A and B are shown apart, each in its own frame.
Chain A
């Protein structure tokens, strides 16, 4: 039997990137900033979001698309703090969200009534780095219990993120973590990275985080 070779040269992410571009167009047409929160499991990003919804919920209309591998636990935690849509995507084992899932979640949402969108990705510092979801920016969250060399171990994630949240700083007196070294490692990978040092638990450093979000939401209202 003859074998025919078909030249393809198609990027594996091409379809996802097209869908992400569509999500980005939809968000931009409504002026909605969208932040894709990425982290390893246990960095505290769900608590960070809970506190954010609690603190800013009266002044900003925030929606959340949250991805979880098997449960809707995070969505249930977040739903306690907002009557806005918390859309849970159970990935059924997949290690990341994709643009199709986010696009489907947005179909349930009136974007004219949203000031800020958070996408809480699956806890994983590898796969979500490769998947564009149409977000305004990726925000990488890591914590002082994880080791300051995290940026060197997961360079792609720190390269594609525009902001970094170093969380659980209330634990610094108890763990051997060098903040300066962690920031230097991260900026070695991505010199443009903007840092927030926070403790979602105690509130330390959360003011700068809230102000950052308010600034983006104000930019939305200027549309």
Chain B
């Protein structure tokens, strides 16, 4: 759970607390040797991302070789018209 909270902290730091409700997707890379159980992290993150200040952001988890655990990208609805 602490890792999931850390992911949320990074999202808040990057987009600002007021924009968290407009967060649409969180990209996360999880290494097979990271010591992290992807299913467990996914469960905690999905739980957190459906509760305020979040409003149901999707989690896009990519399991890779290695020991990495990294937030790769964030997608935010920016309020403007679609490109």
Chain A: residues with CB nearer than 8 A to chain B?
1-13, 15-16, 93-96, 98, 126-127, 129-130, 156-157
Given contacts A7-B73, A11-B68, A126-B35, contact A2 B6 (CB under 8 A): no
Query: Are A2 and B77 in touch, CB under 8 angstroms?
Result: yes
Given contacts A127-B2, A129-B35, contact A8 B75 (CB under 8 A): no
Interface residues of B in 17-60 (CB under 8 A from A): 24, 27, 33-37
Given contacts A4-B78, A129-B35, contact A13 B6 (CB under 8 A): yes
Give A34 Cβ to nearest chain B Cβ, in Å.
21
Residues in B neighbouring A1, C-beta threshold 8 A: 77-82
Residues in B neighbouring A4, C-beta threshold 8 A: 75-78
Bound form: Cα–Cα A130–B68 in Å: 11
Query: Are B35 and A15 in touch, CB under 8 angstroms?
Result: no
Given contacts A3-B24, A3-B75, A13-B69, contact A8 B2 (CB under 8 A): no
Query: Are A6 and B15 in touch, CB under 8 angstroms?
Result: yes
Kindly state the interface size class of chain B when it binds its partner.
Answer: 20 to 34
Question: Nearest 9 A-B pairs (CB), nearest first?
Answer: A156-B35, A4-B78, A12-B69, A6-B74, A1-B77, A8-B71, A2-B80, A2-B82, A94-B2
Query: Are B75 and A11 in touch, CB under 8 angstroms?
Result: no
Q: When the two chains form the complex, which single residue of A8, A15, A95 contacts B9, counting CB atoms closer than 8 Å?
A: A15
Chain B: residues with CB nearer than 8 A to chain A?
1-3, 6-7, 9-10, 14-15, 24, 27, 33-37, 68-83
Given contacts A94-B2, A95-B2, A98-B2, contact A2 B83 (CB under 8 A): yes
Query: Are B81 and A12 in touch, CB under 8 angstroms?
Result: no
Residues in A neighbouring B78, C-beta threshold 8 A: 1-4
Query: Are B81 and A11 in touch, CB under 8 angstroms?
Result: no
Query: Are B80 and A94 in touch, CB under 8 angstroms?
Result: no
Residues in B neighbouring A94, C-beta threshold 8 A: 1-2
Residues in B neighbouring A98, C-beta threshold 8 A: 2
Query: Are B2 and A96 in touch, CB under 8 angstroms?
Result: yes
Residues in A neighbouring B37, C-beta threshold 8 A: 126
